[in-house]
A and B are shown apart, each in its own frame.
Chain A
Amino acid sequence: MTSKLSRNLRLVFSYAFLIALVVIVFYPIAWAFMGSLNPGDSLSKTKLFTTDLSFKHYIYLFKETNYLKWYWNTLKIALGTMVLSTIFVVSAGYAFSRYRFKGRKYGLMTMLVLQMFPSFMGMIAIFLLLDRVGLLDTHIGLILVYSGGGIPFGAWLVKGYFDGIPKSLEEAARIDGAGHITVFFKVMVPLARPILVFVAVNNFIGPWMDFIFARLVLTSPEKKTLAIGLFDMITGKSNTQFTNFAAGAVLVAIPITILFILFQKHIVEGLKAGANKG
């Protein structure tokens, strides 16, 4: 009897904890969401529970700011980064995993060491370099910076995944007369789909979040990405723009959150593999 009582007590406390946690998780989300729908300008005038709602901040975003333009810019950069970095990473990872050539070990060690540099270290040089080749303030320049920066981590990750695929499969294809390219595209790429999805999703999401390199590379206002646009909206002007910012934030957060949840399994597996590589 006592054990049943203690079990129930435990469950009651557990549910209480879970419900409290749900409230904590939703608290900032609710503020952002309600902020975007409140008619006032500022956070101090925003009410969490109210029926006085309006879409005026969304309308403001579309009519008065370059929000749609930023959205389109970011989408373009994200897609470009996704494609380019996946090509870089998969080709390099495959070569490192399946071929033995001079310099392979040094190449792998270099890739490992390069991951450990703080990302700001190269900032000035990247700026100067892009300036020199005329890619400063262009989206292509930013795509190159993002996809280049992801190579060391990604190549190791993909190499590790390819290492785990038994060689017998491609040997069988080889005996059937398949060449390098056929083996790569028909046998290996389909088998490596989970890790490719991770690399692609990861690189797609990255540009939506980063505002450091975006700010460094893109200088003219019409080329801005969402992250810079939103950041500029809320810093400096303190409290007055919160509701507009919230509307912008909601529109970014919804698709990215859905994407994340859809690919959650791949992301978790990929992160685990990233820490265990070698």
Chain B
Amino acid sequence: MKSHSKISALLSALFMGLGQIYNKQYIKGLIMMGVGLFILITFAVDFQHAMWGLTTLGETKQTIDGWDIVQGDHSINLLIYGLIFLIASILVLSAHVANVVDAYSVGKKREIGIVPNGIKETLKTMYEKGFPFAMLLPSVFATAFLIILPNLFGVLLAFTNYSSPNHLPPKNLVDWVGFDTFIDLFKMDMWSSTFYGVFGWTVLWAILSTFTCFFAGLFVAIIVNQKGIVFKRFWRSVFILPWAIPQFVSILVMQNLFNGEFGPINQLLLDLGILNERLYFLSDPTLAKITIVVVNIWFGFPYWMVLMSGVMTSIDKELYEAADVDGANNWQKFPKITMPVLMFSTAPLLIMSFAGNFNNFNMIYLMTQGGPVNTSYQGAGSTDILISWIYKMTLEQRQYNMASVVSILIFVIIASISIWNFRRTKAFKEEDMMS
């Protein structure tokens, strides 16, 4: 007996669709061969060039011949071109593997005497088995080219010297430099002092902004939900406004209100006699930081107020009644009943909110543009957090490789926090602690 499975798998491995034809699935086989041919023609030749570009990032520099500029290789275009091919070839490769596996399994069935499916049955099984893949296809494509490719490109930049002033194509070539940029960030004084300074403020900002908003929201929720307060819905609807109004609009308004020269807040404080002279809220490093944290409460408390109100109204009334029977007063009920339930149901949100504030670009950039200027920093202002520093390095200073290195560090930090949070919540769920 011939080993149909092995022969057809081998044929399919040799060229897409051959094994299927061997298995007498002629129409299917021909269609697959057509696809294979198409890929071969459009792909194979360019693939070599793309891989050459990806590994070398170009070899000929732009030169000047008299008055004419002779174009050399454009390293960054070669890099992205190579990546497109790399990702496309992964998709092609998985199609090819699927083709071999298919030929093998049909051959296997022939060996035990099952007649291979005709084109009609094939289409039917394709619909049955292929449905989830068809559903995933658009997202897989979009994710591959719009998220994975750009991020991979971003990660790779960290290992090049792509930066102003000496390594910007098309004038110059970019080279792979391994971990040099990472080493620069930690070893070169200018970079490392900026990094530690900005990083310290980022962490402090994330902690302060998360906790101030959390407790402000909690406090407002407690006040509104007290017994005896009327028009609860009215209060809540008003306090939700800062969250509902498009953030970039209100931050830009705030930025003007707190302006040291013409901002009305200064005027108000002067008129009320609280201040004797104008305060430059956003031009003094320390004052700017305090101002941002305080202003951020305006934006952040409604979210927590809504969440806490929701949790508070859902707490079982019997818990409080039981406490009343035991003679507990409000000061005992709150830390013993309300607070644990609140913490339990909001802890994952608190952690994610920390991660969100860590990267809260809008608040910092729209409020101060990272300013005031800090001369001891390399390309960052006093209120810059890591993400806004990256933005400046990318769009203003063209320090692409350093921006990438810092992005990778942010990724590591956020990923650790999220994974820890993810595991923790999962563990909670499995133990069924509260419900």
**Bound together:** yes
Residues on A with beta carbons closer than 8 Å to the beta carbon of B140: 92, 107
Residue in A22, A42, A121, A235 whose CB lies within 8 Å of B154: A121
Check: B196 CB closer than 8 A to any chain A CB: no
Chain B residue at minimal CB-CB distance from A210:
B248
| B425 and A278 contact, CB distance less than 8 A | yes
| A239 and B246 contact, CB distance less than 8 A | no
Residue in A116, A128, A211 whose CB lies within 8 Å of B248: A211
Chain B stretch 251-283: residues in CB contact (< 8 A) with chain A: 252-254, 256-257, 259, 261-264
Closest Cβ–Cβ distance, residue B11 to chain A (whole Å): 23
Chain B residue at minimal CB-CB distance from A32:
B253
Residues on B with beta carbons closer than 8 Å to the beta carbon of A152: 143, 147
Check: B307 CB closer than 8 A to any chain A CB: yes
Check: B30 CB closer than 8 A to any chain A CB: no
Which of A31, A98, A120, A152 has the most chain B CB within a 10 Å cutoff? A120
| A124 and B157 contact, CB distance less than 8 A | yes
Taken together as a complex, chains A and B put the C-alpha atoms of A260 and B245 apart, in Å, by 8
| B77 and A122 contact, CB distance less than 8 A | no
Taken together as a complex, chains A and B put the C-alpha atoms of A7 and B238 apart, in Å, by 25
Interface string of B53-69 (1 = CB under 8 A from A): 00000000000000000
Residue in B147, B348, B411, B415 whose CB lies within 8 Å of A275: B348
Taken together as a complex, chains A and B put the C-alpha atoms of A126 and B150 apart, in Å, by 6
Residues on B with beta carbons closer than 8 Å to the beta carbon of A264: 240, 244, 306
A-contacting 9-mer, from B113-121, B126-134, B179-187, B315-323: B126-134
Residues on B with beta carbons closer than 8 Å to the beta carbon of A18: 223-224, 229, 235
Residues on B with beta carbons closer than 8 Å to the beta carbon of A44: 261-262
| A239 and B262 contact, CB distance less than 8 A | yes
Residue in B138, B153, B245, B404 whose CB lies within 8 Å of A256: B245
Closest Cβ–Cβ distance, residue B218 to chain A (whole Å): 14
Residues on A with beta carbons closer than 8 Å to the beta carbon of B237: 261
Interface size class of B (residues with CB under 8 A): 35 or more
Taken together as a complex, chains A and B put the C-alpha atoms of A164 and B426 apart, in Å, by 15
| B138 and A31 contact, CB distance less than 8 A | no
| A91 and B80 contact, CB distance less than 8 A | no
A28-B254, A278-B425 given; A268·B307 CB < 8 A = yes
| A122 and B153 contact, CB distance less than 8 A | yes
Closest Cβ–Cβ distance, residue A11 to chain B (whole Å): 5
Residues on B with beta carbons closer than 8 Å to the beta carbon of A252: 246, 249
| A123 and B394 contact, CB distance less than 8 A | yes
| A31 and B348 contact, CB distance less than 8 A | no
Taken together as a complex, chains A and B put the C-alpha atoms of A25 and B241 apart, in Å, by 8
Chain B residue at minimal CB-CB distance from A87:
B138
| B307 and A272 contact, CB distance less than 8 A | yes
| B147 and A151 contact, CB distance less than 8 A | yes
Residue in B142, B153, B253, B414 whose CB lies within 8 Å of A125: B153
Taken together as a complex, chains A and B put the C-alpha atoms of A10 and B135 apart, in Å, by 58
A101-B132, A268-B310, A275-B352 given; A249·B253 CB < 8 A = yes
Closest Cβ–Cβ distance, residue B167 to chain A (whole Å): 14
Check: A231 CB closer than 8 A to any chain B CB: yes
Check: B214 CB closer than 8 A to any chain A CB: no
Taken together as a complex, chains A and B put the C-alpha atoms of A260 and B246 apart, in Å, by 9
Taken together as a complex, chains A and B put the C-alpha atoms of A208 and B244 apart, in Å, by 13
| B136 and A92 contact, CB distance less than 8 A | yes
Chain A stretch 8-54: residues in CB contact (< 8 A) with chain B: 10-11, 14-15, 17-18, 21-22, 24-29, 31-32, 42-44, 46, 48
Check: B104 CB closer than 8 A to any chain A CB: no
Interface string of A239-278 (1 = CB under 8 A from B): 1001001100100110011001100100010011011111
Check: A148 CB closer than 8 A to any chain B CB: yes
Chain A interfacial residues counted at CB < 8 A: 93
Closest Cβ–Cβ distance, residue B331 to chain A (whole Å): 12
Interface string of B222-237 (1 = CB under 8 A from A): 0110101100000101
Residues on B with beta carbons closer than 8 Å to the beta carbon of A31: 253, 256-257, 264
Check: B391 CB closer than 8 A to any chain A CB: yes
Chain A residue at minimal CB-CB distance from B76:
A128
| B400 and A124 contact, CB distance less than 8 A | yes
Closest Cβ–Cβ distance, residue A252 to chain B (whole Å): 6
A91-B139, A264-B240 given; A227·B248 CB < 8 A = yes
| A43 and B263 contact, CB distance less than 8 A | yes
Check: B146 CB closer than 8 A to any chain A CB: yes
Residues on B with beta carbons closer than 8 Å to the beta carbon of A235: 369
| A11 and B229 contact, CB distance less than 8 A | yes
Check: A177 CB closer than 8 A to any chain B CB: no
Closest Cβ–Cβ distance, residue B180 to chain A (whole Å): 19
Residue in A32, A95, A147, A148 whose CB lies within 8 Å of B135: A95
Chain A stretch 81-118: residues in CB contact (< 8 A) with chain B: 87-89, 91-92, 94-96, 98-99, 101, 107, 110-118
Residues on A with beta carbons closer than 8 Å to the beta carbon of B249: 32, 230, 249, 252-253
| A122 and B394 contact, CB distance less than 8 A | no
Interface string of B70-111 (1 = CB under 8 A from A): 000000110011011000000000000000000000000000
Check: B197 CB closer than 8 A to any chain A CB: no
A-B contact pairs, 15 of them (CB 8 A): A21-B220, A21-B239, A32-B250, A89-B139, A91-B139, A110-B143, A110-B148, A117-B411, A118-B359, A122-B151, A124-B76, A148-B142, A209-B248, A234-B252, A272-B307
**7 closest A-B pairs (Cβ-Cβ)?**
A122-B150, A148-B146, A99-B132, A125-B153, A125-B150, A121-B154, A44-B262
Taking beta carbons and an 8 Å cutoff, which residues of A are in contact with B?
A: 7, 10-11, 14-15, 17-18, 21-22, 24-29, 31-32, 42-44, 46, 48, 87-89, 91-92, 94-96, 98-99, 101, 107, 110-126, 128-129, 132, 144-145, 147-149, 151-152, 155, 180, 205, 208-209, 211-212, 227, 230-231, 234-235, 239, 242, 245-246, 249, 252-253, 256-257, 260-261, 264, 268, 271-272, 274-278
